[in-house]
Amino acid sequence: MNADPAATASVGLVESKRASFDEPLRLKGGAVLPQFDIAYETYGELNASRSNAVLVCHALNASHHVAGHYAGDARDVGWWDNLVGPGKPLDTRRFFVVGSNYLGSCFGSTGPASINPATGKPWGADFPLVTVEDWVAAQARLADRLGIERFAAAIGGSLGAMQALQWTLSFPERVRHAIVIAATPRLSAQNIAFNEVARQAIMTDPDFHGGHYYDQGVVPRRGLRIARMIGHITYLSDDAMMEKFGRVLRGKSGPRFDFDIDFEIESYLRYQGDKFASYFDANTYLRITKALDYYDPAADFGGDLAAAVARAQAAFLVVSFTSDWRFSTTRSREIVRALLEAHKIVSYVEVDAPQGHDAFLMDDPRYHGALRAYFDSIDL
Amino acid sequence: MNADPAATASVGLVESKRASFDEPLRLKGGAVLPQFDIAYETYGELNASRSNAVLVCHALNASHHVAGHYAGDARDVGWWDNLVGPGKPLDTRRFFVVGSNYLGSCFGSTGPASINPATGKPWGADFPLVTVEDWVAAQARLADRLGIERFAAAIGGSLGAMQALQWTLSFPERVRHAIVIAATPRLSAQNIAFNEVARQAIMTDPDFHGGHYYDQGVVPRRGLRIARMIGHITYLSDDAMMEKFGRVLRGKSGPRFDFDIDFEIESYLRYQGDKFASYFDANTYLRITKALDYYDPAADFGGDLAAAVARAQAAFLVVSFTSDWRFSTTRSREIVRALLEAHKIVSYVEVDAPQGHDAFLMDDPRYHGALRAYFDSIDL
């Protein structure tokens, strides 16, 4: 509503909440979760007509901590804080924003590290594989709990975008707008290949113990570190990496001629890998990459994406970034084409941005301007 | 000379040879190799004027076994057999072809698995880092031994192309033509990043033992496997991978919902990784990737590649492939631009090929036609 950036503010202090569900959830793969928790946060107020709720879906390594900060740690700012807040493109003075964690996560929702009620021990390798469809089904339970019959919008980038798209297919009548950013309708063989290498790095780590490492007092840190390094390369464009790190050597006098850190990019990747391995759960990583690999809404329609999206009732905004080589603009265009062919209402913005896949996290003016305009146009 | 494919033949039975050099070699990094061997093969006959020798330089995971096959194994065909032979583009009826292994390799030349004369045990982690410049210096010793004062041409793809280029800079008077295929004048930050992840996978494998695994009766097989999988993804284009493997599932009835092999691409990568880990030496892999990272002929000229190539006396043929994202056509164009700016004789062919970086190994008619025409044009 307010386009003056000077008028924007943080949502401020927030707290992580948790909703518990006792009705069993049958998963796409056939397994049944007897009960589960979903971690979430909310910002803003649900209006009297309950028409202003926006669901924010997160990607691989983020969480339901979308905006604001926790008590005692002002630096632990939500991952999409530049988008969500008073006066920001997704304006919390107007919308009631729900950040939902997904099932199988290691950030508060029920996942592999949770206690399996059947054994009294962590699920570990026995935690079932969960899919994008399962995540959306669990989020629908959360919506019920919060008294949200219909979301004004579901929004997400990357894996989050798949959830936003799937909302329009699993619950067509429960979402009015879907904002699908840096997405793909299904992973390519190359995408799957990168995921598979990451999984193999984790599963061949001697500390993996077949996924039952919680009892062993170890975590497959080496494998997780490699997995994160691989992932990170695919999040950045070649140009962005060259711009940021170039071939800059750490040693002032030339290469070291050993295997310690020569180039800044090596230092950066090792740092990112170590950090990730210190907090992320390996069993979760394995399951999320599988959820990515499996997602393919057109599969049940003989590969016809237009047929797959025919049941959607939402209007769509699709956003892609020119330098994204993980999920390239071509993949977003496939989604747009299918939506057009299915006679859906669709807007498409291709943002000329250098950052690669991670551009969806940046606050590029054209990108955020498009999101602001779109949210402003949603009637409540 | 003979453009009729029907007239081409294999060079037939070949044998791996080895040349030993007792004069110490001072490496770019400062270390001195007291003595070393270079493994090589030759095809065709050196003519009376010794003017028809062509040096073939190999890439990361190949060897000096360029063409023909070994006794007892007709299937062990050289890696560039489609290019080198009687009637083939690099015609062994006309040229004397030398396939040279590089220093530090695990295919016969002195490398980390060789015995360190100072200790009587394998070099292991103590084997020095070798550079493209060092490889070329060692190959020059081999040329001396074979009585080749000047090569008619040096040719290579990828890492082999760096060697062909470096020949024109280290020994300008000793090479008349350089054929530089699928090359880059220096690795990008993304290229280095992929190499670094591969190295980290190897070095964090508990069986690596700091590089002294030969004594332990183990090899860091898990790390090598991951390294090879990562490399393999970068050798193929996204399109080629999609064309070859798509999202084809191994199971007929759908996804498995476990971590065994779902997609064909996973099966392929695991197979390639396992095969590679069964024969390639981890210490060699570490050193080759470092040689790649370090190569930057413009570095001593303030980044000015044209200044760096000014001393070359060779004529150049540069070949790139449209779908190569590891070393894209843009990188080959940088080489061509620098050569033009330095007033060198240069031909450039950009081949529209779908295979990605590995296209340099294929026998695409336009690609091989260009090489054939170029070799035919070389006066002897």
Q: Which of B267, B266, B280, B263 is nearest to B225 (CA)?
A: B280
Q: Which amino acid is located at B117 in the chain? A: P
Q: How far is CA B237 from the centre of its chain?
A: 19
**pLDDT at residue A250 greater than cutoff 90:** no
Rounded to the nearest angstrom, the minimum Cα separation between A71 and chain B is: 37
Percent of chain A with pLDDT over 90: 94
Catalytic residues of B: 158, 324, 357
Q: pTM to 2 decimals?
A: 0.96
Contact call for residues B61 and B279 (beta carbons, < 8 A): no
Pairing of strands A53-57, A69-70: unpaired
pLDDT at B4: 54
pLDDT at A11: 96
Q: Which residue in the block uniquely carries the two structure tokens 């031994």?
A: B145
- The reply to whether A273 touches chain B by the CB within 8 Å rule is yes
Residue of higher predicted confidence among A347 and A76: A347
pLDDT at B301: 97
pLDDT at B1: 42
**pLDDT at residue A130 greater than cutoff 50:** yes
Whether B186 and A229 lie within 8 Å, measured CB to CB = no
Residue of higher predicted confidence among B8 and A105: A105
Whether A204 and B225 lie within 8 Å, measured CB to CB = yes
**pLDDT at residue A54 greater than cutoff 90:** yes
* Cβ-based contacts of B30 with chain A (< 8 Å): 257
Q: Which of B247, B267, B330 to mutate to test the interface with A (most CBs of A within 10 A)?
A: B247
Whether B201 and A286 lie within 8 Å, measured CB to CB = no
Q: Which ranges constitute the DSSP H helices of B130-203?
A: 132-145, 159-170, 189-203
- The reply to whether B5 touches chain A by the CB within 8 Å rule is no
Residue of higher predicted confidence among A252 and A182: A182
- The reply to whether A244 touches chain B by the CB within 8 Å rule is yes
pLDDT tens, A185-223?
999 999 999 999 999 999 999 999 999 999 999 999 999
Q: Which of A126, A130, A191, A196 to mutate to test the interface with B (most CBs of B within 10 A)?
A: A196
pLDDT at B2: 44
pLDDT tens track, chain B, 380 positions? 444 555 789 999 999 999 999 999 999 999 999 999 999 999 999 999 999 999 999 999 899 999 999 998 888 999 999 999 999 999 999 999 999 999 999 999 999 999 999 999 999 999 999 999 999 999 999 999 999 999 999 999 999 999 999 999 999 999 999 999 999 999 999 999 999 999 999 999 999 999 999 999 999 999 999 999 999 999 999 999 999 999 999 877 789 999 999 999 999 999 999 999 999 999 999 999 999 999 999 999 999 999 999 999 999 999 999 999 999 999 999 999 999 999 999 999 999 999 999 999 999 999 999 999 999 999 99
Q: What is the ipTM of this complex?
A: 0.94
Tell me the C-alpha distance between B193 and B197, whole Å. Answer: 6
Tell me the C-alpha distance between B174 and B162, whole Å. Answer: 16
A235 DSSP 8-state letter? H
Give the H/E segment covering residue B41: strand B36-43
Q: Which of residues 317-336 of B touch A (CB under 8 A)?
A: 325
Please state the rounded mean pLDDT for residues A157-179. 98
pLDDT tens, A89-99?
999 999 999 99
